[in-house]
Structure 1
Amino acid sequence: MGMPNAASASTTSASGSDASGPDPATTTCHDVLIVGGGLVGASLAIALDRIGLDVGLIEAAPPGSLPAVFDERNLSFAEATVNALEALGVMQKLHAPTGAIRRIHISRRGDFGRAVLEARDHGREAFGQVVIARDFGDALEARLAELPRLMRYRPVLFVGLEPGPVDGVRAVRVSDGGGERVLRTRLLVAADGTRSQVREALGIACDSHDYGQTLFVTRLRSERAPDGTAYERLGDHGPTALLPRGDRHFGLVHGVARDEADAVAALDEAAFLERAQQAFGWRVGRFLACGRPSTYPAIRTVAGRLTAPRAVLVGNAAQTVHPIGAQGFNLGLRDALTLAELIEAARAADPAADCGDAGLLARYVRRRGDDREQTLAFSDGLARVTANDASLLRPLRSAGLFALDRLPSVQAAIVGGALGYRGRVPALCRAGSGA
């Protein structure tokens, strides 16, 4: 795409506006500028459009292409996430059928016991839905195209920040094939993922822990079709999970030790299926076929703080968690919706309220505290304890699985997180749920 200035950027009144890099002299100041058009950034843009804000979205992918995150992996949406995405008009845009998670089956290889959580025992038809990432990306793109106020900068890359803020405004340097430009905003949102360049430019340090695991993700067909059960089979080198998709296949996540990853990646389909079968067992019969797996390292990254002057981190830029328990996107969406909710409340009280006000950002940090801390602790603790092969831990884990399977009080704590209700969640997450 070329580099017209803001005055001549191509626009379409019915499907949002595209600009590939306005001249700094003619750039207006956005209320909110989001860097990153992935799952969380796009969802935030949709949520903010409902409030009538002037929003800019910086996307590396050109029109007609999806960000790399929208691949063939399987996303597990908690009930709270489904509620919110329905309220935002995204779920209605999906084309592929979703898979309902009606029960969760948890076990660990080498340990006694297992736990089974039934949604109906907790007054729910399902804990959530399994969605194919690529289909979700298409749905988000269709919804973004309906937003007449949103200004999309694509393909454009974040370069850095000008000194400041100055006079209540952040100046952001971006580039595409035509060179560098400057965009201005009252509030800068970093939604650019685990290796966030915005976070680095803001000088926000992060703490990382490498679990030493590589996760292989693919679609799998077995002798028995999915019946609504999500299986979490834990092991020394990570989980082997099966998620019930809506197309009579399972979504497979198979964790291996990092030093074995290259050898596993070199396996042919039959050998890979045999390996995954040995790790998982025979609860769904024989594994028959799978696609070519994608690989992802399991690394926990947590930002030391969530805000800087006129800037805020959301999603994986704020925290990237181990995928065990499927907490990542659900947590990131609650980041985005909490921010939108606080801005909406401020604008309701004062239509001229400043989106980047320090008091508003402080409220955001307080609101996200409980949910973020509890989810991080749950995900990290589960990943570390279940992968530890120390013999002394085995009876403790078996006792824990027994308690989770039999004691309602223990189940309640886990089920709340599985449904997406930790801490004070955004109102959109409870829409129509009765929660």
Structure 2
Amino acid sequence: MKEPRIDYTAVFHALPGMVALLTPDLMYADANEDFLRLAGRTRAQLLGRYIFDVFPENPNDPAAAGMRETQASMRRVLATGERDTMALLRYDIEDPERPGHWVQHFWSPVNAPVLGPDGQVVLIVHRVEEVTELIRARGGTGSDSSRARVLEAELYTRARELQEINERLRLAQARDREVALALQAAMLPAPTPIGHHRAAVRYRPAVGTLNVCGDWYDLVDLPGDRIAVAVGDVVGHGLKAAGVMGQLRSGLSAAARVADGPARALEALGLYARHVAGAESTTVVKVFIDWETHILTYSSAGHPPPALLGTDGDVTFLDRATDPPLGARPEHVPRPQARTDFAEGATLVLYTDGLIERRNEDIDVGLGRLADSLVRNGRAAPEELADALLADLLPPTGNTDDTALVIIRL
């Protein structure tokens, strides 16, 4: 039997109920016939326009929260790539033929993502259930209209209560953020100068977390024209992961000063991590840089490989000394170590997995993106290169995983 050819555009416009498509910038890309009819807007009044320019908040209603709640829901969809079902809300619409006259509506919205080949959200499906008549019917009509007014008053009261709760949460989050920023500054200070060599560091917590995370970086001066650089990633987010991160970062920093190479430093850290709750499965990579011999010596405990951008424009991933994460083995086993030469002017990039990994995507795809970005932007100074890599590789709405990044011009 021959499969029928389906006109999905026609299907979309014939869907029962109000359905619209929005871009990640919250601009209308399309809307079905029921949406246009029930919203009282033409296609020309919607397409290509920002949702809240088309449907602004009722300025006469001080308790109105529909715009803020709808925007927050859509931002969650963009950040998580998951469907978000909203609670019943009132959202008045201005009559396009009677400016200044607002018509009462009650909506039950659902926002769902449409993912592209790279796993990123390319469209938001905004489905709205119009329940205004149901609310009115439950309130009664005619002589029973007072019940409708009572119900409306209750909804207003709940909206005001929610607004007050949200404001208290916002103030609490602001205080928590001040604490988090102080903690971040203490645990991840700006790197000290490393002679005439240029370096840049970046730190980005996951969306929806406090401004602290379990990712870290560290740069340690060694005798001679040498330094040790590391990045690591503790499982989890927030203050608990940050506490573990602080202990491991300090332990590795101390070990690097006395160990004869990165592998020995990671072995010492692994023994220490056995006595730190929450340190299991931490990944970390350590690189010793020697400018006198122009040699990089490195070792990795389950961490994504550092990238070396040569002066010829080629990118090499340092992946010849990779071992399991901390705490993965019941017995102590010596860790591997590898060496590679570098030319003056090359660029070394260390990072955590938040920079490259995406759900439902092979890690090689992310490594390829990193290599391509390095080739395009590699001539930039470390500070500018760090900004370019974050702009190229992190989603514009923020990442769902923490990210740390270190760039050193060799």
TM-score by length of structure 1 reads 0.27
**Structure with more relative contact order (C-alpha pairs < 8 Å, separation 6 or more):** 1
Larger Rg: 2
